[in-house]
Each structure stands twice: as C-alpha cells, then as structure tokens.
Amino acid sequence: MPAVKTTPAMTDVQRQLQRLNEVPAGAHRVVSCYLKLEPRDRARGKYLIKLKNRIRAVEAGLERLGLDRAIREAVTRDLQRMQEHFRSPGQLPAAQGVALFACEPLGLFEVLALPRVHRSRLAVDRTPLVRELVAVDEEFGRIAAAVVDRTTARLFEVTAFGAAELPPITANSTRGGKFRGDQDAPGWGEHAYHNRIREEKQRHFDRIAQHLFALDRRSPFRGIVLAGTGTDATAVQPFLHPYLLDRLFGSARLNVKDATPATVQAAVLEVREEFERTAERLRVHEMEEGLGSGWAVNGVRPVLRALARGQVRTLLVDAEASAPGFRGAESGQLALAARDVRENGEPLPVVDVVDDAIEEALAQRVAVDVVHAPEAAEAIDGMAALLRFR
C-alpha cells in the first residue's frame, strides 16, 4: 500500500481511517466487516455464528458479482483470514463493536475497535466501506459524565473512542465530629449539624450543575450522564439547567474513588444504549403514524426508492433483514430487481441490498437506526423510513 502521511496530533483511529480512505480502487476487491460485540452477541459465541452465516452468504453471492476467478479466490482467502481472526475470543477487543478490512493483493488487514456498530454486516467492494467509521464519531459526539458523591465530583469527557478526565470539583464540607451542644434546647446541635450538611450538599450539587452548564456553553455536549453510589447518582439532576436536562441520557452506578476513564466510558456506553433503545421504540411509533399521512414508508422496495430520491430523514432497519439486489451501473441506485435499474445501464448485483442501503444512507448523512427490540422490529418490513418530504 502507498505510504501515508500522518501528523503527530492524529489519533490511532484517524490514522487508520486515513489509510483506508487512501486505498485505491482497482480490479481487486476489499472485504469490509462490521461486527456487533455486545454481551448478547458474545454469549455462547453468537457473534461467530452470525459471521459464519454472512461469510457463507457472501461466498454464495460472489458468482453473481461476475468477478474473475483470481479475484474471487483472493476474496475467499480474505474471508477465511477474517473468520480465523475472530475465531478466538481472545482476539476480540473489549468493545461493543469491531470493524475489519482485508484485501490480500494490497496487503491490507486493518482492525478497529468501535463503541458500537449499526449491525453485523459483511460486504465486498472496490474500496473499504468506511462511512460508518466516520459516522460513529459524529453521531456519538461528546458526552459529559459526572461521577459524584457528597463532597467530590469527578468529570469526564467521553467520545466514541475513549474518555478523558477533566479537573474535579470538591465541596467545602463540614468535618465530622461531636455535635455542638452549647445551645439551650436539647438536640439543637444535632439539628443544626444536619441542616448544615444538607445545605452543603445542595450547594455542592448546584455547583456541579453550574460547572456542567459552563462547559456546555463553551463546547456543547451531545449528552449528559450522571453517576455515583446510592442516591448520589441522580442527586445532581434537579439542579441541571433545562438545556442540559433535555440531554440527560440517564444515570449509572460508579464509585468516585474507583472510577477510571475506561470504567466511565463503559458505563456511559451502557446508559447511552438504553437511551437509544427507548428512542428507537419512539421512532418506530412515529413511522407507523406517518404511514397514513405519507411522511413514512415501510418495506425494502419503497425505502430504496425514497433513498434514491433523497427523501429519507431516518432509516429504520430490522436487525435480521437481508436480501440480494442490484445497483444501477450509472446512477448507483439500489433495487431489489434488475428491471428497476436497467435504464441506468447494466445492473450490478449486490450481495445484500440492506447492507448497501445502510452505506448509502450514511453517505447521505441520514440517521440510521437498526432496530433490535423484537416488539419494535415486528413493525418493520425489512426496512422503513421517516421522510424529509413527500
């Protein structure tokens, strides 16, 4: 592969992305794999079963692509290398997703750990399919995490690929000791002591909320996560400015003293995932309501037509959906049947039109939601979409 110029300020992920973007198109084919590695995917090796099924589907579809024998054999070897790499759980990153790009003729074999992937998918194309890599960082954005207790707040800035700790906040707390019993009324010292503790906690939580607001004003966060033990995890919530409250993803259980950037990022990912699942169900409900008024479509064929017209605002995908299809040679339009794109030149077969639709949606900067909740996925006929215009 050609030499790549990088700068010291670039992260490892940015360097890998630059290398992938510079892969030249040619007669070769690049295998792109995105694999979900959430706990339910790792259980009993489900991720590997899904990968093997997709590899079989791709191998079966290679004949349809009309590739030369030498190219097909190189792709087959890349698929075997990929399967061998993922066979051992010890090769898996401690992340909820991973991307792998392989091309034997170019000496390419790049692996990137990801905080999430839309769904497990496998594709063969002239160049690496990297739009999801770009989108994951943009969609994730920056999340503020505050790990608090009665006297301390440790603040973290969490991105798709890591977490960094910010300067902490420490309260001016009342020191422990005997109650001051120098007042006439019995118990007066204890009552005053507890009032003082309560006021100090409230001032501390208010200070945390004000600090988060100031940080957000300088550079807005995509979301907020509060963490702590017991009631401390949600104690700051009543003090948050409405602008921040609208972006509160939820709370997590973490101890201030034990928190590390890695444990904070893991907790934020878990809270964000639950937040997204709730939002996912709301978007499916919005899609069902929009069908009657023409502001939504349901089904692979109408969604592909809407994508070709640039109508799609949000793409909803059943996590288990797949179907072979075609792409117009001149327009790039996707379709289930060759006749639907024949006017754009000789139709080019694609292994899975649903996976290609996700890539096309990302290219159009469309929001992509892969629906996993069974009750929500039942409402989607393979793919559905919320529309920008009718």
Q: CA of 64: how far to CAs of 67, 68, 348, in Å?
A: 8, 11, 9
Q: What is the mean pLDDT of residues 336-350?
A: 82
Most confident among 37-51, 107-121, 375-389 (mean pLDDT):
375-389
Report the number of secondary-structure helices (H) and strands (E) in the chain. Answer: 12, 17
Q: What percentage of the chain reaches a pLDDT higher than 90?
A: 37
Tell me if 236 sits within 8 A of 270, measured CB to CB: no
Q: For residue 9, what pLDDT band results from cuts at 50, 70 and 90?
A: very low
The model's pLDDT over 183-205, given as tens digits with 9 standing for 90+, comes to 455 555 665 655 677 788 888 89
Q: What is the mean pLDDT of residues 14-36?
A: 85
The model's pLDDT over 250-281, given as tens digits with 9 standing for 90+, comes to 999 999 999 999 899 989 988 988 888 888 88
pLDDT for res 173: 56
Q: What is the mean pLDDT of residues 124-147?
A: 86
> ∠296-313-346 over CA atoms, to 5°?
90
The model's pLDDT over 201-246, given as tens digits with 9 standing for 90+, comes to 888 899 999 999 999 999 999 999 999 988 878 889 999 999 899 9
pLDDT for res 238: 92
What amino acid is encoded at 119 in this protein? Answer: R
pLDDT for res 92: 83
In 69-210, where do the E strands start and end? 97-103, 108-114, 121-125, 143-148, 152-159, 162-165, 169-170
Distance CA 296, CA 319 (A): 19
